[in-house]
Copies of this chain bind each other. A is one copy, B any other.
Amino acid sequence: MIIVMKNNICEDDLKRVSKIVIEKGLEVSVVKGDEQSIIGIIGDTTKIDPRLIEVDEAVDHVMRVSEPYKLANRAFHPDDTIIEVGNIKIGGDNLVLIAGPCSVESEEQVIEVAKAVKASGANILRGGAFKPRTSPYSFQGMGSNALDLLVAAKKATGLPICTELMDADYLDEFNEKVDIIQIGARNMQNYSLLKRVGQGTKKPILLKRGLSATYEEWLMAAEYIMANGNPNVILCERGIRTFETYTRNTLDLQAIPVLKRLTHLPIIVDPSHAGGKWWLVEPMAKASILAGADGLMIEVHNNPEAALCDGAQSLKPKKYDNLLKEIKELAKFTNKRIQE
């Protein structure tokens, strides 16, 4: 961490500010410039709040030089984290294919879709039980009943299941029934929930990027889960909020190579929510693979016109099947292994 002093400060200012740092058990190194002096802080700065040092009148601003996350940081954990769900691997040179309906609507629906996506080559079934909806008047998901239908679909197909947890009160039930617990974009900085899935489970957590979360904030959210005891975090890029409103969100595929550099955690892409339009799913899914994604999470519905939510962004099983054929070919270009 670097403390940048104001112009025209005096020796006493440098001493006073240095003392604040030294009292926290760290070392300082002062660099005096012609106009501006800086104080370099040496040691573990993760526990220092830079904004507190900025309170001092002689300080212009404070800059971090290293990342504030440790457990999620590739610098301290160079090897890829590989998370196992049954016999499916997520991370490393494995490609994971997650698919299923936006929301679980009936036993027939979820089993039909599960069978279809399995036949196409999907490894994990997704399906919404509790749905975060912008409007209180929209369908909010079937709740616990949907969890049982997902379990039935798992029984019917062998596919592990992934669904979103919105309320920590359901954590025990999720622990019992669900294989991957999703934290949605709108809860990415719900720190109470992050702590609870850190402390209360070892199940893999699929952590979606918040709508306006920087890479650092996203990794700090992962760090919350990890620091609370659960190292099994899968990151999921699903588009960010920008000024462009034609698409639901702007898919940030640069996130893939950047995150690969910053962290050892696996990172997958959800092209369905990013664009919000089914015809964007195919090109963006393919592009994601070439960007180096560890997997794809795609909405598939047997009858999108009658879906209770997000039909507009769901693929029909036939389209998904065609897409996976191509994805399997493209995976060869990134040395990712298709899993059966």
Q: Is A322 interfacial (CB-CB < 8 Å)? A: no
Task: Specify how many copies of this chain sit in the oligomer.
Answer: 4
Q: How far is the CB of A257 from chain B (nearest CB, A)?
A: 5
Q: Is A144 interfacial (CB-CB < 8 Å)? A: no
Q: How far is the CB of A42 from chain B (nearest CB, A)?
A: 4
Q: Is A133 interfacial (CB-CB < 8 Å)? A: yes
Give bound CA distance, A28 to B283, whole Å.
35
Task: Decide if A274 touches B287 in the complex (CB within 8 Å).
Answer: no
A70: nearest residue on chain B (CB-CB)?
B137
Which of B137, B187, B245, B287 meets A288, CB within 8 Å? B287
Inside 8 A of A204's CB, which chain B residues have their CB? none
A44: nearest residue on chain B (CB-CB)?
B34
Q: How far is the CB of A53 from chain B (nearest CB, A)?
A: 8
A196: nearest residue on chain B (CB-CB)?
B167
Task: Decide if A47 touches B137 in the complex (CB within 8 Å).
Answer: yes
Inside 8 A of A290's CB, which chain B residues have their CB? 283, 286-287, 289-290, 330
Give bound CA distance, A55 to B257, whole Å.
17
Task: Decide if A31 touches B29 in the complex (CB within 8 Å).
Answer: yes
Inside 8 A of A186's CB, which chain B residues have their CB? 189-191
A66: nearest residue on chain B (CB-CB)?
B36
Inside 8 A of A166's CB, which chain B residues have their CB? 190-192
A40: nearest residue on chain B (CB-CB)?
B31
Task: Decide if A63 touches B66 in the complex (CB within 8 Å).
Answer: no
Interface centre among A34, A191, A224 (most CB of B within 10 A): A191
Give bound CA distance, A274 to B68, whole Å.
22
A8: nearest residue on chain B (CB-CB)?
B75
Task: Decide if B31 touches A305 in the complex (CB within 8 Å).
Answer: no
22 intermolecular pairs with C-beta atoms under 8 Å apart: A33-B42, A36-B66, A51-B313, A52-B307, A52-B311, A63-B65, A68-B135, A134-B189, A136-B223, A167-B168, A187-B190, A211-B212, A242-B250, A250-B254, A251-B253, A253-B253, A253-B284, A254-B284, A258-B280, A286-B290, A287-B290, A330-B330
